[in-house]
A and B are shown apart, each in its own frame.
Chain A
Amino acid sequence: MTHDAESDDALLSRLARTGDARAFAILYERHTGALYATAVRITRDPDAAADIVHDAWVRAVESVHRFANRSAVRTWLTGILINCHRERERARRRDGTEEDASIDDVIDPAYASPLDASRIDRIDLDAAIAALAPRFRQVLVLHDIEGFTHEEIAEMLGVAPGTSKSQLARARHRLRALLESGVPRHVP
């Protein structure tokens, strides 16, 4: 069997046992596109996104022996990416940067349902997502764009699945409001 045909689990195992550079290269090729896209959406900054993807890969390889096959490799890697992002955010806030803006607690159920984006301009949608408060943008990106379940998101964020659901509802509510009111088209 060639390296390229090997499963993620087999490649991780090889990487853990021997530090196999080829196994790492294949894993990098398979997953970095998705990790970077997620990082850009969450950070809104390509340079910061590259930094956290770098940190995430280093941390993943350092802790590869702790990968327990409880989740898909991509879910595990995304969880590490989110942790790297949160650590950087905590450091940034200690430097005096503002934390998330608060938003309404009152949610109209109609506004909390999934968006039909087929008639929304891509640039408007990118801008509206970028304008969400970070913690809501994070959940919306992970669920509505990246396709993770609430269970997976809850594990990544260290919260209850119910918290993930309620934050997603608020994120969709806010996203609809932004799209209706119009948002400045400034996205990375």
Chain B
Amino acid sequence: MTAEPNDTDAGRGTLRPHVSHAEPPPALAARVRETLEARGLVRSTTGGARLWVVRAALIAAGVLLGVVGRGAYQEARESRSVAAVAVPNGPRIEQYVLLLYGDTPGDTGAVHVAREREYGRWASTLGDGARWVGGHELHEVVARLGGGSAPADTASERVAGFFVIEARSREQAAEVARTCPHLRYGGRVVVMTVAS
């Protein structure tokens, strides 16, 4: 004979105060973070990378959207001093901005997130000495200032985002850009040097 308890959820959680509770090992947090960062699932929180995201955003905003307010200009000027890094006895590492033009209409929700992750994985595994420094997806144009008869923003001209990378040469930067997944989605990628 098989009998079942009548009250469906009676006793739920009642043993909790009477059993031992193990604490997770402190090293586990770092192990999980390392795996997530290596797979490009979580952004690195190193100060340099964060700072570069902010600076690169200001540079891109200034270059692309015509915003040349004093603050952005000063940030851009400040960033010039660190836009190139000379490695002792090695090639000169330069920074480049990859501007991503165009977007896929209707690319929303889970599809959009999956695509973001694909871009993130690509950015975290550039290889051959090239390195992801920062980047952001860009959304709406808030304002267009100056420039007289600048054309209205259209889907095909929209700047969807940007990456800042380090590479050993212009050729390598262009080579990296050719592998960017944005091209597979019909977008365009423009590679620009950062003033140094």
Contacts and interface: CB of A to CB of B under 8 A. Distances in A.
Interface of A: 15-22, 24, 28, 32-33, 35-37, 40-41, 46, 49-50, 53-54, 57-58, 61-62, 64-66, 105-109, 112-115, 117-118, 120, 122-123, 125-126, 129, 140, 143-150, 161-162, 165-166, 168-169, 172, 187-188
B18 to A, nearest CB: 4
Chain B interface size range: 35 or more
Chain A facing B: main interface SS = helix
A112 B3 contact: yes
A24 B107 CA distance: 25
A36 B32 CA distance: 13
B117 to A, nearest CB: 8
B11 A144 contact: yes
A54 B28 CA distance: 7
A35 B22 CA distance: 10
Given A108-B3, A125-B18, A165 B8 contact: yes
Contacts, number: 149
Contacts of B44: 21
A148 B44 CA distance: 35
Interface stretch (B35-43, B57-65, B98-106, B151-159): B35-43
A122 B20 contact: yes
B29 A165 contact: no
A143 B28 contact: no
B86 interface: no
Given A21-B42, A61-B41, A146 B22 contact: no
B53 to A, nearest CB: 10
Contacts of B129: none
Nearest to A49: B22
A61 B28 contact: no
Contact of B19 (A66, A114, A125, A143): A125
Interface of B: 1-5, 8-25, 28-29, 31-33, 35-36, 39-45, 109-110, 113-114, 116, 120
Contacts of A61: 36, 41-42
Nearest to B114: A65
Nearest to A166: B4
Contacts of B25: 46, 50
Contacts of A143: 9, 11-13
A19 B11 contact: no
Given A58-B36, A62-B39, A144-B12, 8 more contacts: A21-B42, A21-B43, A28-B29, A57-B32, A107-B1, A145-B15, A146-B16, A166-B2
Given A33-B23, A109-B3, A150-B8, A144 B28 contact: no
Contact of B13 (A41, A146, A168): A146
Nearest to B31: A54
Contacts of B13: 143-147
A161 B15 CA distance: 21
B20 A187 contact: yes
Contacts of A15: 42
A166 B31 CA distance: 38
| CB-CB nearest 8 A-B residue pairs | A114-B11, A147-B13, A36-B24, A65-B113, A117-B18, A109-B3, A40-B22, A144-B15
Given A21-B42, A115-B14, A46 B2 contact: no
A25 B160 CA distance: 28
